[in-house]
Structure 1
Amino acid sequence: MDAAARPKKRLGAVARIFGLRDFGVLVAAVLIAAFFSVITPTFLTSYNLFNILRQTAELGIIAMAMTMLIVAGEFDLSVGGIYAVAGVVTGVLAGRHDVNIWWAALAGMTAALLLGLLNAVLIASTRINSFIATLSTMMVYRGVAMVLSEGQPISFRLDFFMDLFGRAELFGVLPVPVVWFAAWGVLSYVLLHRTTFGVRVFATGDNREAAELAGIKTTRVKATAFLLTALASGLAALISLSFLRTVTPTQGTGLELEAIAAAVIGGTAMSGGVGSILGTFLGTFIMAEVRTGLVLLGTDAYVQDAFVGLVIALAVIVNVRLSTRRR
């Protein structure tokens, strides 16, 4: 094999490892990182990269679960509300009523799962479009968070729990939220890409009627996906309150749209049946590196959202173009 052919072969191997869609997102992430590293040398420092991953953790956990739900053909706009309720329940019990933090956290996670179950039952029993149904429950859950917290933030100091979920650094450099993010990512990858449940998720989202004819209980598959999304929201809430040592009823506002955007950037099809956990991780990372790069450049906060929106559009275009060329 001549020298000119070797780089092409390596590139083809990378594309096969990541998949066509994921490879397009990887290219976009690398180009964005290269752009910011040229403008600001501190961008590619280990400290900044770990900081990006820490910022990515909460959104990434929810986005990965959202990916499974979108692949199954559904949406959940209430994840921000579930995130708020789980945090507020934990905060009210531990911060205001002196309940043991572990029991309080368990109650918060249980509340998140119950709200996810409510979403699944509502959609399954009424056949309402999940976009509309969860838009409604999002408002309800936000109201629940406001009532439980009385509209006030809740602060508390519980060192060991905080260290375990949000504030410790392994080996002095690796933030604990990144470890939780990685663990959830591995679990999500196995569920979606290496189990029969994942096969059923793809089949349900691709063609629900055909999946049912094949004996797949699509309602159960979708309900499980809603529960996983709620579980992810609860876990993200615990990480947030551990890092910040406070919870507010308005936390997580806009989180649902960012989670969907991260999944779509990662190549997840809005129509269902197509998506990957690795792609969503890269999509989430792209959003975090853009925001971090703009902060390092001293960009005004109001301008940052516009740039993030632009990068989302460009990343999707690059992803689609590269995927089309390689078919």
Structure 2
Amino acid sequence: MTTTSKPPRLDIREVGPRDGLQNEPPISTEAKLDIIEHLVRAGARRIEATSFVSPRAVPALADAADLAAGLRRWPDVRWSALVAGVRGAERAVQAGFREIEYVVSAADGHSKANVGRTTEQALQLVPRVVDVVREAGGILEVIVATAWDCPFDGETPPARTRDIVARAIDGGADRFCLADTIGTVTPGRLTALMEATRRVAPGVDIGVHLHNTRGTGLASAYAALLADVTWLDASIGGLGGCPFAPGASGNIATEELVYLAHDLGLETGFELDGLLAAGRRTQEILGGPLPSGLLRAGDRARAPV
């Protein structure tokens, strides 16, 4: 029997232009737009473009406002920007962003290194950031960094991450992303935390941000799919890392996640050959290889015999 129903969809947010480039030597705004153009050609329709944070802390993203002006050539893409406080949110909405990500670290050690305040202090700012974003007609996502582990404090108690989500909901957050900032999560731990989080956030959109630091990124992504997560972050070529989390390395690679998703019968909107072209162009611009295995080996349909 034939069916006309569409296959299930995996929503992939491409984070290379922000999370991927934040730990790299600065490149020009035009070079960033070149990478973004290749990503859009490959099918990216949801892109984390930059962050509005201190240019002294993250010099690679000091051109956030200039980059925002260049994004207007792709009106059908959903753009988001990360902020670390109220002033960053004000700058982001002034630049035209309407999907704002506010980061709250679940661990005090990382929170102090990342934004110079404790987790509690970061949580207290949620309602003020919400007000800035809502006044501009936007939506606020809270990214819970170090949701599983912190490079300074060790394992993050699941109850702490769960309570941060509950507090942020009370503060007005629209959606959440649980971030494996230093790439330590495994499938079982991912599933357990998702279950705990959903109990305090029923019906709330929750995504997952994974790093492949210890080689478990795609396995954990698969576990997320089995746990009915429909939104995952990924970075072209596996580019990325957190400058405030010692030992953190690249995100899961967009092309590898798409390769897996398509084999599972999931629709992503991406075209794999286009992603490989975007990865090669990113390597050219950055002047070195990216960690993605698929980028090195190519799609199996074109692999040498």
Q: Same fold (TM over 0.5)?
A: no
Of the two, which has the highest radius of gyration?
1
Which structure has the highest helix share of the two? Answer: 1
Which structure has the highest strand share of the two? Answer: 2
Q: Answer 1 or 2: higher relative contact order, Cα 8 Å, separation at least 6.
A: 1
